[in-house]
Structure 1
Amino acid sequence: MNTIDISHSEEIYTVSQLNRAARLLLEGHFPLLWVEGEISNFVVPSSGHWYFSLKDSLAQVRCAMFRPQNRRISVLPKEGTHVIVKARLSLYEGRGDFQLLVEHLEETGEGKLRQAFEALKKRLTEAGLFDAAHKKSLPAFPQCIGIITSPTGAAIRDILSVLKRRYPVAPIIIYPTLVQGETAANHIVNAIQTANRRKECDVLIIARGGGTLEDLWPFNEEHVAHAIYQSKLPIVSGIGHEIDFTIADFVADLRAATPTAAAELITPQIEDVFAALNKDKKQLIRYIKQTLYHLQQQFIFAQKHLQQQHPKRRLAEQAQQLDFYEATLIRLQQKILNDYQTKLHILAAKLDALSPLATLQRGFSITSRIKDQKILHDSSQVSIGDKIHIRLMQGQLECTVDDNT
């Protein structure tokens, strides 16, 4: 057999080294991609991960959608379903198979709307319509509340119910509009402009109930976004359900998860006033939430790092460390609350010691002249025959002076 003379300067790859290098090159070079095709060879093993092929008339590519991602999909895909997926390009090192790691999957009809949504979102972001600096603050106590929605939908009933319960003192003006269909966007723009022109309200709610992406599309139109951005009145959006996001939500000064939540966000409640007395407690809660948030961000970063290295041991260690931090924070919270209670008991004891009632309890009394209520310190302050009032711990006496020596 002939041998090949290889220079020592030339690197020789093992198969595993080659596959690893190819995977890292693919994952590092390509961003998240949108890919359209037809599902085939769909398999769900006991692990709950999804494995399938995505094909068109000329080619196909293997796909994997792991359980944490596919749990967000409400309907199990079927063979032959035409879909669009958002995925990362990768390579399965064990077999050297080129594959897509799918993050999101939806049927093609909705997928085209989603692409249009993402394109408009990117364009408006670059134009500055979502900038936090442009967001207007909401009035603490609204003088008049405007609502832009359908006058016959469930959303208006929910909003009015919340406002009646939480903040019945503010008048409400409804600017009726269509919230679905081809002409709905123009109606919404007109309602926003009308409210700004009439200047009757100091805050606006834009709302509608839940629906499909197509149902909510009027709130994804560009001229609606510009009308919200140009509004002089602060606008709170309450469109769809908690999982629904529209372009209007990003442009609005504040986004609420639902129409009901929007009504709650713009109105104060009497409990909120009393809550100011618990300032220290709130500060502690905010501190704990911020700390947990930073720990969660660290955990997310660790998860992304594991997508390339995938060592289960490290993931378990990170989860254990997060549990330890959380338990430590809970103990810290309890300790601080106990310290506050101890200080409160000490102050209460000091206050009780200084109380006049405590002096009476030790057997002393308070004596005053009945005629002018003056407290007596010396027997010379009364004359024989004067009437005096004596306050005891339990009860009181009225006496006549027989002797003032």
Structure 2
Amino acid sequence: MPSPDILSVTSLNTLARDLLEGQFANLNVEGEISNLTQASSGHLYFTLKDAQAQVRAAMFRSRRQSLRLHPVDGMKVQVHGHLSLYTPRGDYQLIVENMVAAGAGDLQAAFIKLKEKLAAEGLFTHKRPLPHLPTHVALITSRQGAVLHDVLSILKRRYPALPVTLMPVLVQGEQAAAMIIHMLNRIHLESGFDVVLICRGGGSMEDLWAFNDEALARAIRACPIPVISAVGHETDFTIADFAADLRAATPSAAAEILSEAALRLHQQLQQLAQRIARPPRQIRDQEQRLDQLQLRLMQAWGHLYRHCKEQIQQYVTRLQSQHPRQQLYRQQEQLDTIFARLKYTLERSLTSRQHAYSILKHRFRSGSTVWRLNRLHENLFHQINQLRSMMPAHLQQARTRLKFLAHRAHIASPLTTLSRGYAILEGPRGIIRQADDVQTGDKILARLHEGSLSLLVLDTEKGNS
């Protein structure tokens, strides 16, 4: 019988695993990745090493799915996790729950320090409102990647009349911040824009670090028109987000914000068109709503006109101080083109709605009750004439049919049969059809074509006679 102090190998490894997991449950370890393997199950297996030692590590699929870093062999990382032991082999390993690139903690500290400094200066406090209906967007982003395609696709679908000018820049690396600042400075010299959109896709903190530049934050605040920052994913925050007049969770969300008012106005126009198409008794209400919409459109146009006029005055004042008269002429031509395009769009929309209303009004008048009664009276009169014209033919057809049926009834009549010499015999038990229907001595009645005879049965004979 084995001693109670003797352990099985499984028991030994289980005790060792429980001890490791209890004593080393919250570890932060820095090292270099090597022998990286991704299993078909989605788990990551690798070795974490430094100059003197190494340890096996595993990161399970549930944790890897939320990992924003793309680990490769040779990458220096900081991992958070706990020690465990793989019981079947007796190998102890580091179970990784999170992983960041080495040095990310320093970046975070620098980010917080700069954010607190600029916040103390009040750089993040004064936010300018966005234009209700933007007329020209300056888009600062990279030519490559899906961000540009996504933003332009959403704006084309929701606000196709909105002009967008791409100002291509690098969005990652040492030169990215300087290029973005240069584009913002260009906006000081160029006219026609009323909002700036700075955007790029998601990435690690190192990838987004260009947007944590102090000079870039100050350039955003110095920009003469409102700036929207849409950098990274919803959980990413940069200094540019805090300096901008509005932070969008994603570039797609920023495009939806810019086109929200136009889309809402378009939906209101569609709803109004559907209401105009309702029964005629609602035409008067629809006329009033159309007038209100026309007034709102004219007010919006007037608001845009006044806004653009104020911008022109600002530009004129600035240019008069610098005397760039030729540039002023070009700016005025661009604004005149924008005004003409906006006015043409509004007038065309109003003309279309008025034409649709005229058609509906004409249909209503042509579909009035008196007109329908006249049509019904004409149809009734036409049907009465048709019945009158068809009546003689139907009567003649009925007479012919009646004569035919009377002739057939005459042929099938028993009286016709009696006229040819036949008789109908009736005995005590009814019509006589065979000899068995009477007995000797029965009195029978013979009905002839004219008159009848009383007969006495003297004898009967069965069979054919």
Bin the TM-score by the shorter chain.
0.3 to 0.5
Q: Give the alignment's TM-score, normalised by structure 2.
A: 0.41
Structure index of larger Rg:
2
Question: Whose helix proportion is higher, 1 or 2?
Answer: 2
